[in-house]
Structure 1
Amino acid sequence: MNFSNELKPALPWLKVLFWLVTAAIGVMALRLLAPIIFWVLNVIAPFALALIVAYVFHPIVTFVQRKLKLGRIAGILILFVGILLALGGVLTLLAPVLYEQMQLAYHALRENLPIIFDELTARYIDADTRAAIVAWFDTNLAQLDQQVSEVLSHLGGAAGTVAEGSFSVLRQFIQVIYNIVAGIGGFVVLLIFVVIIAFYYLVDMDQIPGVIHTMLPEKNRERWWRILKEGDRSVGGFLRGQLIVCLCVGTLTTVLLFAIGMRQYAVLVGFFAGLINFIPYLGPVTGFLPAMLWILFTGDLETWGDRGVRGAILLGGFAIIQMIEGFVLQPFVVGRGASLHPLAVMFALAVGAQAGIGGMIIAVPVACFVKVLWVELYWRKRKAGDPDHAPGPSPLAE
């Protein structure tokens, strides 16, 4: 009896069973090893963050070196001092404004949230149920008041210190940073470690490519080196370009909110819109939602006609910001480096969202490198293998 012939029809199912069992064992192993994995991640986190910082600022250090004809360490110190001065200037200008607007926003939300809830649910929930829910709001918000007041007191002390300080008072600036992050555990220690490690990364950054080159397999060394160089260009282009896009989106959002009359919250909302826009396309949404809520429920606008006009201006303004980001900033600032199709970006964000905010932050850089692997390992190989029917540009590219 020929058992091999009899088993042939079952081979596909055996392969599926094998991979299912392997996946189940892998999941069980991950669950058992989860504490060790998290411990390892906590250990390498400062090194990974420092590497990202060094990676982003390496071209700036090189530029400073060449322009000023300085040594590597001198260029790094100039960069660090420049960043410190820039942060000091930004905090000097923004910290008091952000603190004041955070206070206004919290107290406005605290007072108006039950009213907004009552107006939105009046047609759908009976009065007794609504009263019980509003009472629940009052009880829980009272507990929240104490926590928020403590946070705001820390921020208020920090903002006051910054406002009355100057660039020359380095000690006060460091104290401000400490006050802001007081009570957040080991964040200060992590920040110090990241800065120190990033310094050493930057010192030896020019030597890292040579070390990586020698570690690549000799047989396909040049091919993998080309992949790494293209990945470096793509990921680096995205990271540096996205920082510029964040600044532009935050500034445009702030200007728009001033234009519609939302002056008391414009800087705060614009700041967070720019910050969150490091996740592509999310910044304008972050700015639009609180602005629309303000238009609908603020007491500053007396008539619904006025609210409608402001709402139309808001919609048009954010549509313009979205178009500027989508058709100008992303293609010409980010796209030249990343060269990633907008649909590929959205798909990467959808996948990254399964791992939370952190996953969304790293989704696009990972997608940039995956695109490079796709082009180098599959698309070019297919093109070289079939010259008569060569495919066009990769569909993942913009």
Structure 2
Amino acid sequence: MTKGVTPHMVTVSTLTLVKVALILLLLWALYLIADVLILLIASLLFAAALDPWVDTLQKKYHIPRAVCMLTIYAILIAVISSAIVLIAPPLIDEIGQIAQAFPHYYTQINEWLINVNQQTGSNGAPLQSLSNAVTSATTGAFSVVSSIFGGIASFILVLFITYYLVVDEGAIKRIAMIAPKQHQAYFTNLITRLQKQMGIWLRAQVTLMAIIGAVTYLILLAIGMPYALVLAMIAGLTEFIPYLGPLLGAVPAVIIASSISPLMILTVIAAYYLMQLFENNIIVPKIMEKALGLSPVVSIMVFLIGARLAGIAGALLAIPIATAAMVVINDLLSSRNRSEAKPNSR
């Protein structure tokens, strides 16, 4: 006679249910204030990037942190303003030329798709896809312009928050005081490590974007490619997109080259390929070697999830947030491994 399986009763205490409810309520509250959290995270990221510079100025010249921060802001504003004065006129001129030539590019691509349609015997889906893409791009352009004006106000707010976070040297580390007393030392150490690593990542990323933009401009200028400045700006900005950025940055250049000649298409593809080799083998190992990274698949997925949840801001902050999360996860795994190793060592 087979013995019956004794059923096990699973009981959940009221306290556990309350904890789960509080966690869900907290997550919902964080979702409601997502915009504010994005500004705070951006401020923490900028503070992490600027804090080493302020520390260096303070220790070397013995001046208050507030003066150091204002000096750095003044230098950054001067550099950015000079760049705008130098770049804006030719950039606006090239954008105007592209806008005038856009119908020509659209017609050429349209004719190419018609030939593809006739040769493959498809039902015109490529043409419809192109039309939809143009409509989406036009609508998206207006959305980007409107978001830029809203983004300026947010950026100014981020600068103010960053200023106070850096000037008040212990402001960020005081977050650790929220944790239970026995864990405060760990959280203080964790915040210090995250602050250092995020600062390294941001400075390295900005440097990489600037170098790629400058190199792209010089190469496109050398091969006689029109709209070199606009295409270089696109190449630099798309570097922020992990792994897919260089490919996306090359697409507009190839489209414009297709309206010139087959030789120019091959030249542009070869130029971007050489730039990619230069980036992967020389620039990235030198600049990004100290910056924390994620695997390609995780980076792309995190970027797309951030863009889906919080738009442009979410996409920009997704990688540093995921990197910080990986640091915490690695700490937890290391702690668990140490705990499991102790009984075995006895």
Give the alignment's TM-score, normalised by structure 1.
Answer: 0.67
Paired position in structure 2 for 1:347: 298
State the Cα RMSD in Å.
4.0
Mapped to 1, the partners of 2:164 and 2:313 lie a distance apart of 26
Structure 1 residue 183 displacement after superposition: 9.0
Report how many residues are paired. 318
CA distance, structure 2, for counterparts of residue 7 and residue 251 of structure 1: 70
State the distance in 2 between where 1:123 and 1:317 align: 27
2:181 partner SS: coil
* Distance change in 2, residues 1:362/1:195 (3 Å): closer
Selected match of 1:234 from 197, 200, 203? 197
- Which residue of the partner structure matches residue 186 of structure 2? 223
| Closer, same or farther: CA 243–106 of 1 in aligned 2, 3 Å | same
Question: What letter matches 2:280 in structure 1?
Answer: G
Residue 159 (structure 2) pairs with residue 195 (structure 1): yes
Secondary structure of the equivalent of 1:124? helix
Aligned-pair identity in percent equals: 21
Candidates 228, 234, 254, aligned match of 1:272: 234
Per the TM alignment, residue 278 of structure 1 is displaced from its structure 2 partner at its CA by: 1.8
Distance between the aligned counterparts of 1:43 and 1:222, measured in 2? 28
User: The residue matched to 1:207 in structure 2 has which SS?
Assistant: coil
Aligned to 2:16: none
Cα offset, 1:287, TM superposition: 2.6
Q: Give per-residue Cα distances to partners, 1:255-301, cap 9 Å, x unaligned.
A: 22223321x311111112212212233432233111212222x2x43
Report 1 or 2 for greater relative contact order, CA contacts < 8 Å, sequence distance ≥ 6: 2
Q: Does 1:244 align with 2:207?
A: yes
Q: Which runs of 5+ in 2 are unaligned?
A: 13-19
Structure 1 match to 2:104: 111
Residue identity matched to 1:366: I
Normalization by structure 2: what TM-score?
0.75
Give, in whole Å, the separation in 2 of the partners of 1:238 and 1:189: 25
Residue among 307, 320, 323 paired with 2:277: 323
Give the equivalent residue in structure 2 for 1:374: 329
Out of 28, 46, 50, the position equivalent to 1:53 is 46
Give structure 1 stretches of 5+ with no counterpart.
Answer: 16-22, 152-179, 391-398
Is the 8 Å Cα contact of residues 53 and 198 (structure 1) preserved in structure 2? yes
Q: Deviations over 1:138-172 (max 9, x none)?
A: xx98xx69x98xx8xxxxxxxxxxxxxxxxxxxxx
Which residue number corresponds to residue 94 of structure 1?
87
Report the Cα offset of residue 222 of structure 1. Answer: 3.2
Cα distance, 1:258–1:348 mapped onto 2, change above 3 Å:
same
C-alpha distance 45-359 of structure 1, shift in aligned 2 (>3 A): closer
Whether the aligned pair in 2 keeps the contact of 1:98 and 1:267 (CA below 8 Å) is: yes
Give, in angstroms, the shift of residue 247 of structure 1: 1.0
- The alpha carbon displacement at 1:242 in A equals 0.9
Q: Any conservation in 2 of the 1:345–1:367 contact (CA below 8 Å)?
A: no
Q: 1:255 maps to what in 2?
A: 218
Residues 58, 68 of structure 2: 8 Å contact kept? yes
| Rounded Cα–Cα distance in structure 1 between residues aligned with 2:31 and 2:325 | 25
Contact 1:181 1:188 in 2 (8 A): no
Deviation at 1:328, TM superposition (A): 3.4
Distance 2:147 2:333 in 1: 50
Kindly state the Cα deviation for residue 384 of structure 1 after the two structures are TM-superposed.
7.0
